[in-house]
Structure 1
Amino acid sequence: MRRYCLVGQVDPQRIDVYKKAHEAVWPELLRTLKESGWRNYSLFLSPDGMLIGYVESEDLDEAQAKVAATEINTKWQKEMSKLFATEGAPDEAWRRLELVFNLEDQLAAL
């Protein structure tokens, strides 16, 4: 399982709405993410709107493509796009960060 870190930017004026939406993500979308290969998915939000996503997946490109092909994701992205400081669907605006250190990996290599 590979680890991925994603960075996005929520509109700082819409943070409260974004947080409220994520208190109860639509069950169909949750199931779609799981069935598409997303594991241990978490989001972290700073007060200035910087959004950090962490997810584990065998192949995130494939997992993202599976989710993107669903009607429920299209609806969710349409709603979420109103809350981001970027153009278009938020799930297409993620920047990926390179993993440079993991404690467990290095301990296992000893």
Structure 2
Amino acid sequence: MDDSLTHLLATTDQSDPTRCCFLLKVRPERLADYVEVHQRVWPEMREALSRCGWRRYSLFLDPDSGLVVGYFEADDTAAAIQAMGEEPVDGRWQAEMAQYFVQPDGGTPRLLPQYFHLV
């Protein structure tokens, strides 16, 4: 990334630690299965997300590219991500989801910086 853009994103007064947006990349031949499995997210996974402070969690999909955009809110998104990573069910869920993502790192969320928000 261009250094000047990196500096602008790092210093914007529009950033907010309570909102998080991230990208994932799903294998084109697995898109239907990936969407289907999300219609039945394990109850213990849903409970862990709530317990760790994830709110308004949504996933959006561009079916043409396999790009997934995730969004959630928390009192502190970094702490919520860390807490979720410590949940045993998250490890099992991530292992199950790995088959759907473009590898080597399509299943590693790429966090996007917020640079504008209209209230």
Category of TM-score, reference length = shorter chain: 0.7 to 0.9
Once the two structures are superposed, the pairs formed by residues 1-110 of structure 1 within 5 Å of their partners are 2-47=18-63, 48-87=65-104, 90=107, 93-104=108-119
SS of the residue 2:104 aligns to: coil
Local SS of the residue matching 2:35 = helix
- Length-normalised TM-score, structure 1: 0.84
SS, match of residue 23 in structure 1: helix
Bigger mean CA deviation after superposition, 52-61 or 76-85: 52-61
Larger relative contact order, structure 1 or 2 (CA cutoff 8 Å, min sep 6): 2
Shift of residue 67, structure 1, vs aligned partner: 1.4
- Identity of matched residues, %: 35
User: Equivalents in 2 of 1:86, 1:42: separation in Å?
Assistant: 23
Structure 1 unmatched runs, 5+? 105-110
**Contact (CA 8 Å) 1:10, 1:84: kept in 2 or not?**
yes
Task: Report if the CA contact (8 A) 1:2-1:58 is conserved.
Answer: yes
Shift in Å, 1:61: 2.0
Which ranges of 4 or more aligned residues in structure 1 deviate by more than 2 Å? 86-90
CA contact (8 A) 2:26 2:106 kept: no
RMSD: 1.7
Q: CA deviation at 1:100?
A: 2.0
**Cα distance in 2 between the residues matched to 1:61 and 1:103:** 22
What letter matches 2:118 in structure 1?
A: L
Count of aligned positions: 102
